[in-house]
Amino acid sequence: MRAVLALFTFGLLLTPLQAADEAGRSAARATIERQIEAFRKDDAATAYAQAAPAIQGMFGSPETFIAMVKKGYAAVYRARSFSVERIEDVGEDGLALGVRLQDENGVDWVALYSLERQPDGAWRISGCQLVKAPGSNA
């Protein structure tokens, strides 16, 4: 009986940790979704706010940031569609998210986002690598 009670108690202790992990993954996914939706609306301030402080520091303003995205990440800037395909832990306070995108011309892309948990618990985008999807036309 004690063994059953101990296992039950141990299970209860693990549940909040698993929920926090899943909550963190959901929050990271929401950060990417917010940024892509902001790009669709030309909402530079919201898109910029999803970037990690180091990225913000590199560009200095929402306008400079969105201009860089328009030029170098057009598939992300004007994604016709997108879906998060996978999420993986990277260290204690990092996640990598694989995102499949289709640009406004119908070309498929794969983006690998890196996100960092900030001291306030928020997830912010610290990088994005973008490549055409294997077998993509054009």
Q: Where are the domains of the chain?
A: 2-132
- Sheet of 94-102: strand order equals 81-89, 94-102, 108-117, 123-132
In this structure, CATH architecture of domain 2-132? Roll (3.10)
Measured distance CA(14)–CA(101) in Å, rounded: 35
Render each residue's pLDDT in the chain as its tens digit; 138 residues.
444 333 333 344 443 444 448 888 999 999 999 999 999 999 999 999 999 999 999 999 999 999 999 999 999 999 999 999 999 998 888 999 999 999 999 999 999 999 999 999 999 999 999 999 987 766
